[in-house]
Structure 1
Amino acid sequence: MYSIKVIEEGFVFDNPLPQLRSRHAYFPSLTMMDDGSIMATYVMGEAFESVDLTTMLVRSTDVGKSWKVLGPLLDKSKLEVQVSDTLKIGKVNGDRLVAVGYCFPRENAELPVANSETGGVLEDYIIFLESNDYGHSWERVEKLDTSFSEPVEASAPVSVLKNGRMAMPIANFPKWNGVFDDRPCGRLMVSDDCGKTWGDDAVTMRFKESSILVYEQRMCQLADGTIIVIAWNEDMQSGKTLPNHFSISTDNGTSFSQPRSTGIMGQTANLVHIDKNLIMAFHCIRKDTDKPGIYAYMVDLSKGEWNILFEEVVWEPKMPLKSSHTMAEVFSSLKFGQPSAIPIGNNEYIMVNWVIEEGQGRIYWRKLKVEVKSS
């Protein structure tokens, strides 16, 4: 038997003077450095889809109790067109950090990122950065090409596989008019030369039904090298919410199984490898439930199935959630999401997520303790 307890909590970001300036934060990510410090990012701006959205880098040397702002990741001073960027960080080796994500050019400052009438989004591009000094400076700021002709979602950090390959799942967004040129699917971007060149030949998740969306993919690798990718899935034709689905690769991300249901009616999820074939999955559940929140599941994948051993609510919103039924409504009524977690030793984990409370976009952190109880 397992138990998960919240033993500490606080804010990575909370606007100290909202009466003076509008600052909201969303979409956090975490990584642990070799010296024990924790690096985190979040996207900050005036509003959820404001033109000035940019990714901030912060650092904690006391396991989350306090955070020092290092500044924005992306230098926009020389850009011809203002962009809104959403980046996630990951550690490659030693003190080398990489950041990856997507940029929306904002030529028309009167347009939001998402079209609430169609569910489509603005054109965008993927960007890759690296730092060799704990994020104090960033080099090799490059755009990455993909196979998609539509806007691209790149919301997961880079993972380093056991064979040294760098990998990150991506997916296609509908265009501004709500139309896809290609079928919705997930792909795996990989680099076998430390990020110098990238390809996205492998399809991580594609459904037989061409109307099923693949969003917010996250991945982790098991002890035997098996790769697990999980996604938020909805049917854009019927508006039906689907359970989170997962797919498996046993050949270092060259090919993936058909998507399988987790049975969990969630949105964004995050995966953390625990031991052997055991993972902890954090699911954001905010629709069609009387108890929205972030749920942690202990999952055994030893038989290739999503075998849930234990579940626990590890975060709950303080305010009621506005219900929403279509993807376009979800974009305009999001209240919390994107859990991200990393192990910090001694069966403890740091989890972050964003939430809008009292009109403020905040980033929470929570320290979780996983205990094994004898039956």
Structure 2
Amino acid sequence: MPGKHLETQDPCSPAPAYHLPNGPRTRNRPADGRLVQSARLSTRLSIHLKTTDGVLLVAWLTSLLPGEIRLVTTSFCFHRKIRMANISVIDRHVVYENPAPHNQARHAYFPGLVKFPSNDLLALFTLGEAFEAANCTTSVSRSQDQGRTWKFEGPLHTRDAERRYHSDYLKPTLLNDGRLIAMGYRFHRDDPDENIVNPDTDGVREGDNLISFSHDEGRTWSDPRIVPRSYPELIEQSGPTIQLRRGTLLGCGSLFPRWDGSNPSGSVGALLKSEDGGDTWDDHTRFFQDPKGQCAPSEPRLCEMQDDRVVALVWMHDHINNRNHTNHVTVSHDAGITWSDPIDTGVPGQASNLMYCKDDLLLTIHCHREGDNVGLFVRLVDLARDRWQTVEEKKIWGNAPAMKAAAYSSMGQNLKFGQASLLPLENGEILATHWAVESGQGRVLTHRLRVELS
């Protein structure tokens, strides 16, 4: 048709609301909450209305100039009414604390928990004489009463003489077939007096990414074996692997700077993927890349929402300027094949974690280590249309001073709590777990939560 044009309006942009023919004037409230002015257009013929995914599409033919017919479309964003929520703390328990601090130094850090079909819980955490001690190794505790009491079962594996100073850090995942895997990494150390971090460059020692298997609910484990990687840097896989509903295993990590401080692969996030139950892994996909090239996705965590919709929540760690930014997320809608650009959550947290609730709702947990309100915060988040909107938040623990930890060389001295996680229990309660230094002792703590929606 001569003179025909197609005009479109981006969904949820600050668009005007048009005076529709034979109908009332309509206003649109964009995503940022501002009301915009309405406008009139002369129209001919009919209007076509269609709703898809919360967006109202409107199309009509209009004549603005003699001899010109124009097809105009616009769209209106209708956000669901955010439900009210209440997050409450029911009780607190200790997974591990040194039973004899007057006799020996034993500090617990970096916990990860799983729940078995029997409702027993298993915790893996690192136990050692100090935060960066050479004898730090992954240890096991078990609970048979939903996390109220715990029995310490000892180290996950016995280090041989050649690797007796190689400190390791593993997290558990329960697979659909009943097997357990523990994945993480270790640092190579030949001398117990060697530091993990180079104080001159902020780089770390060489190391290996590891995996171990258990077929008896974590009572015995295979010797950890090395997971080959394509990067020259060690992958900081500090969080657990997840298994998608389709069966694919996904793990992730940032890249530690090398001993000389270099990051030849850049400040990116590596995604580890296995299609054969953890026997082989591919790490060529990147789930995160800072467009400015200066922030690393430290301590990332993964969660599957709807089928193949995977969210990665990261601590934005700026090594170049020695500062932390707000938490960001990246999102995949194809089981981790492609990923969005980083999305700013606006949450001033560092180490964080997340679990799927239902619909577009996530429950997240964040370590706030800087500023006036230091502590552990739990948030209910609406991630509809991949947009972060906090519905409710609750501070569940705050027994720590403010601290700054934007360099690896300062973490051992400055960090007093971290690596929080959320585990849904059979009765609908949620177990929040983290490590913390209290009374000079590194402990693994839990907080039992109840989340009520209305």
TM-score calculated relative to the size of structure 2:
0.79
Q: Who is 1:135 aligned against?
A: 218
Q: Which residue of 1 aligns with 2:193?
A: 110
Q: Which runs of 5+ in 2 are unaligned?
A: 1-83
State the 1:265 CA deviation. 1.2
- The residue identity in structure 1 corresponding to 2:441 is Q
Q: Where do 1:175-324 residues align within 5 Å?
A: 175-287=258-370, 289-317=371-399, 319-323=400-404
Is contact 1:214-1:231 (8 Å) kept? yes
Contact 1:51 1:84 in 2 (8 A): yes
**How many positions carry a matched residue from both structures?**
371
Give the drift of 1:116.
Answer: 3.3
Question: Which sits farther off after the overlay, 78-87 or 231-240?
Answer: 78-87
Name which of structure 1's ranges 364-373 and 124-133 shifts more when overlaid on structure 2: 364-373
Greater Cα shift, 144-153 or 20-29: 144-153
Please state if 1:366 is matched with 2:366. no
AA paired with 2:217? Y
**Counterpart-to-counterpart distance in 1, 2:404 and 2:239:** 26
In the alignment, is the contact (CA less than 8 A) between 1:34 and 1:95 conserved in 2?
no
Partner-residue secondary structure (3-state), 1:364: strand
Name 2:432's counterpart in structure 1. 351
Q: How does 1:18-97 map to 2 (within 5 A)?
A: 18-77=101-160, 79-80=162-163, 82-97=165-180
AA of the residue aligned to 1:285: H
Following superposition, the deviation at residue 234 of structure 1 comes to 2.2
Q: Distance in 2 between matches of 1:65 and 1:190?
A: 35
Task: Note the C-alpha offset of 1:118.
Answer: 2.5
Distance 1:46 1:141 in 2: 22
Over 3 Å counting, the alpha-carbon distance change for 1:182 and 1:306 in structure 2 is same
Aligned-partner residue type, residue 15 of structure 1? N
Structure 2 distance, partners of 1:247, 1:80, is: 36
Go from structure 1 to structure 2 and tell me whether the alpha carbon gap of 1:26 and 1:302 turns closer, same or farther (over 3 Å shift): same
The structure-2 alpha-carbon separation of the partners of 1:17 and 1:148, relative to structure 1 and needing over 3 Å to count, comes to same
Q: Which deviations, in whole Å up to 9, do the C-alpha atoms of 1:194-241 show, x marking residues without a partner?
A: 111110121110012222112100010012431000111122222232
Query: Which deviates more, 138-147 or 27-36?
Result: 138-147
Could you list the per-position Cα deviations for residues 146-168 of structure 1 after superposition, in whole angstroms to 9, with x for gaps in the alignment?
12111220111111101100111
Alpha-carbon distance in structure 2 between the residues aligned to 1:165 and 1:171 = 20
Pick from 145, 151, 157 the counterpart of residue 240 of structure 2: 157
Deviation at 1:176, TM superposition (A): 1.6
> Which structure is richer in relative contact order (CA contacts within 8 A, separation 6 or more)?
1
Q: Distance between the aligned counterparts of 1:158 and 1:302, measured in 2?
A: 24
Greater gyration radius: 2
Question: How many Å apart are 1:184 and its aligned residue?
Answer: 1.2
Superposed CA RMSD in Å reads: 1.5
Which secondary structure state, in structure 1, belongs to the residue aligned with residue 410 of structure 2? helix
Moved more, 237-246 or 252-261: 237-246
Note closer, same or farther for the CA distance 1:302–1:141 as it changes in structure 2 (3 Å cut).
same
Deviates more, 1:150-159 or 1:39-48: 150-159
Whichever residue aligns with residue 244 of structure 1, its letter is N
**Which one-letter code corresponds to 1:126 in the other structure?**
N
3-state SS in 2 of match to 1:328: helix
CA distance in structure 2 between the partners assigned to 1:197 and 1:325 by the alignment: 33
SS of match in other structure, 1:345: coil
Q: Deviations over 1:314-351 (max 9, x none)?
A: 1111x433445645334431011110111003431011
User: Secondary structure of the equivalent of 2:277?
Assistant: coil
